[in-house]
């Protein structure tokens, strides 16, 4: 690891130390931010009655805090509010098609965040957190759609998770068996990229006539995610 200022390097813990495929591990805070910024869906891991439960949910990031809806993990969080969770975000960029099946792999970017989530209860902080969550997923929407009223705020379980303990793994580029004996096989090798792209907006069939989609939404049509 090269010397960097502390804030640019993710602190290593027993859980985040890269054990396998260490060439794919990153301890760069910039890499973590980039992975988290590129998406909005995470897989939240909690332990319920001793067994793991992995639930998909949306998240948002602001500064050093990750926000997500707590309701999906309510069984676990009610049972053990001080329990550590693992929140993982993964983007698949393509299939690595090598000359041998054994060398096949995936190009991807993935972040794992460990921590004890904190339930956000203060109404002002909850509103600010929901704003972060909304703006992370759909920038511009917080100022456009109707914001939560007091009743809706109270019904929302918002959790905050620090980014203090996190790790990043990345893999990119071509197969790695191009300079080995398998290169003589005459087998095609390369990458089949996978792209996530926003489509064309689909108006609600119940939408009243004359209501045009706002610019912050039309600007995303046909754009790449992340």
Give yes or no for residue 182 binding a copy of itself (CB under 8 A): yes
76: helix, strand or coil: helix
Give yes or no for residue 58 binding a copy of itself (CB under 8 A): yes
Closest separation between CB of residue 1 and a copy of itself, Å?
22
Closest separation between CB of residue 6 and a copy of itself, Å?
25
Instruction: Please name the helix (run of DSSP H) or strand (run of DSSP E) that holds residue 154, with its range, or none.
Output: helix 150-155
Nearer to a copy of itself, 121 or 218 (CB): 218
CB 111 within 8 A of CB 167: yes
Six-digit token string for 105: 């792999």
Closest separation between CB of residue 36 and a copy of itself, Å?
15
Six-digit token string for 135: 């703006």
Q: Which residues contact 99 (CB under 8 A, 6 or more apart)?
A: 175, 177, 178, 182, 183, 185, 187, 189
Six-digit token string for 149: 């009223």
Positive or negative CA dihedral for 213, 219, 221, 225? negative
86, 159, 161, 170: residue in contact with a copy of itself (rule CB under 8 A): 86
Nearest 5°: CA angle at 45, between 41 and 51? 150
41, 79, 119, 154: residue in contact with a copy of itself (rule CB under 8 A): 41
102, 122, 124, 209: residue in contact with a copy of itself (rule CB under 8 A): 102
Question: Alpha-carbon distance 183 to 56, whole Å?
Answer: 40
Nearer to a copy of itself, 160 or 191 (CB): 191
Closest separation between CB of residue 87 and a copy of itself, Å?
7
Nearer to a copy of itself, 5 or 102 (CB): 102
Q: Are strands 25-26 and 165-171 parallel, antiparallel or unpaired?
A: antiparallel
Give yes or no for residue 219 binding a copy of itself (CB under 8 A): no
Nearer to a copy of itself, 5 or 51 (CB): 51
64, 125, 152, 164: residue in contact with a copy of itself (rule CB under 8 A): 152
Nearer to a copy of itself, 119 or 185 (CB): 185
Give yes or no for residue 25 binding a copy of itself (CB under 8 A): no
77, 161, 170, 189: residue in contact with a copy of itself (rule CB under 8 A): 189
Question: Alpha-carbon distance 57 to 34, whole Å?
Answer: 19
């Amino acid at each position: 690891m090269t010397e960097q200022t502390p804030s640019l390097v993710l602190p290593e813990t027993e859980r985040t130390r890269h054990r396998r495929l260490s060439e794919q591990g990153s301890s760069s805070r910039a890499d973590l931010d980039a992975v988290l910024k590129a998406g909005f869906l995470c897989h939240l891991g909690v332990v319920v009655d001793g067994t793991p439960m992995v639930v998909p949910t949306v998240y948002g990031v602001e500064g050093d805090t990750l926000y997500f809806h707590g309701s999906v993990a309510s069984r676990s969080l009610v049972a053990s509010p001080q329990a550590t969770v693992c929140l993982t975000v993964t983007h698949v960029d393509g299939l690595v098609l090598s000359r041998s099946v054994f060398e096949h792999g995936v190009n991807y970017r993935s972040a794992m965040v460990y921590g004890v989530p904190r339930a956000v209860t203060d109404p002002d902080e909850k509103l600010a957190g929901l704003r972060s969550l909304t703006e992370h997923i759909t920038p511009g929407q917080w100022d456009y759609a109707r914001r939560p009223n007091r009743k809706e705020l109270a019904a929302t379980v918002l959790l905050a998770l620090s980014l203090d303990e996190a790790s990043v793994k990345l893999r990119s580029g071509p197969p790695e068996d191009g300079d080995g004996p398998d290169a003589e096989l005459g087998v095609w090798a390369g990458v089949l990229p996978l792209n996530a792209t926003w489509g064309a907006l689909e108006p609600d069939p119940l939408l009243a006539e004359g209501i045009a989609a706002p610019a912050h939404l039309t600007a995303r049509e046909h754009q790449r995610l992340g």
